[in-house]
Structures are given as C-alpha cells and as structure tokens.
C-alpha cells in the first residue's frame, strides 16, 4: 500500500472523528481537550485520508494518557513525536474503505504544536482559496514522491509553511 497518496475529501470524515472521539473520551480527564485536525478536518480538503486527532492534557499527564490510549489499541511511536507531542496510530475498520488509519497526538494546551495545529485547521476552514492551494501542492507531492518522504515534504512544505505563517495571526484559541 502506498504511503503518499492523495484522496478526495470524504464527507464521512467528521462522523468517523466523532465516533473515535467518543471512544477516546472514556479515558480522558475532565479538563482534557480533543480536536479533529489535519486535512480530514477541513471540508473539501483532500489528503491521505488519515483521521488526525490532537488531545491537550496537562503536561505531566501526557505519558499517563499515552498508556490509556495504548489500552485502547493505539500503538505509541516514540520517533513520530517530539518533546511536546506523543504520537500514536491505529488502523480501524472503515465503512468507506476497508481500513482507515487514525493518528492521535497527545500534547498540552500551551505547546506550540497544539497552537499551530488548531490555528492551521481553523484558518483553512475559513480560507478556501488557501485550502485549495494546499490541496494542489499535496496532490502534486503525492504524485511525484515515489514513496520518498523527503520528496513529498520538499514539494508540499513551502506552501504549508506559508499558510502556517498566515494562520498564526488568525483567530483565537
């Protein structure tokens, strides 16, 4: 299966997020926040079709929450995260495709990664021209990547960075 693909937006994405959010909420603390981010969170924006979920918890609770996610079947991948973010993945049965990948990122509300992910999502939801510009770059990157992460990122990153810069001055959290 190819890793770098471009799929059209599917209106089922918000429903899939809500279903998984309900499952995850059972292990969250009362003050934890869970948000749908990434391409599947922006109406009309195509991408790889992965449901990206960010969870903000207290910084000292990140590893505890990671263990709880692992109890739900998520695989923790230390190399996929950063000092501010723990990365998890799971593949679940899917009504539109046989299987769909979900990525869950655990961070804390003050982290740069949380702020950037939420602001980017909100900006793209309200700026369709930039969303389409980003979709075009992602489609081109997927077509030319030949399964090379370096090539994929080299093609899409300049547009993404430009949009991130715009998004950081947009709206409030």
Helices (H) and strands (E) in the chain, counts: 5, 5
Q: What is the pLDDT of residue 64?
A: 96
Here the tokens at position 124 are: 């793209």
Does the pLDDT of residue 125 top 70, yes or no?
Answer: yes
Euclidean distance between CA atoms 93 and 96, whole angstroms: 9
Does the pLDDT of residue 171 top 70, yes or no?
Answer: no
Please say whether the structural domain 13-167 has been given the CATH code 3.30.460.10. Answer: yes
The pTM (predicted TM-score) of the whole model is: 0.93
Q: How confident is the model at residue 3 (pLDDT cuts 50, 70, 90)?
A: confident
Chain segment 159-168, per-residue pLDDT in tens: 999 999 999 9
Contact predicate 152/142, CB 8 Å: yes
Chain segment 26-61, per-residue pLDDT in tens: 999 899 999 999 999 999 999 999 999 999 999 999
Q: What is the pLDDT of residue 29?
A: 87
């Amino acid at each position: 299966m190819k890793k770098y693909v471009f799929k059209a937006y599917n209106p089922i994405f918000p429903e899939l997020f809500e279903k998984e959010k309900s499952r995850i909420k059972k292990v969250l603390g009362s003050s934890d926040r869970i948000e749908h981010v990434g391409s599947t969170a922006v109406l009309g924006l195509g991408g790889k079709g992965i449901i990206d979920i960010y969870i903000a918890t207290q910084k000292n609770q990140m590893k505890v929450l990671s263990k709880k996610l692992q109890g739900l079947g998520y695989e923790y991948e230390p190399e996929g995260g950063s000092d501010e973010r723990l990365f998890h993945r799971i593949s679940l049965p899917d009504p539109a495709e046989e299987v769909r990948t979900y990525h869950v990122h655990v961070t804390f509300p003050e982290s740069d990664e949380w702020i950037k992910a939420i602001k980017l999502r909100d900006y793209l939801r309200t700026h369709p021209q930039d969303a389409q510009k980003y979709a075009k770059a992602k489609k081109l990157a997927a077509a030319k990547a030949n399964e090379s992460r370096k090539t994929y990122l080299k093609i899409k990153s300049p547009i993404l960075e430009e949009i991130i810069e715009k998004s950081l001055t947009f709206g409030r959290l």
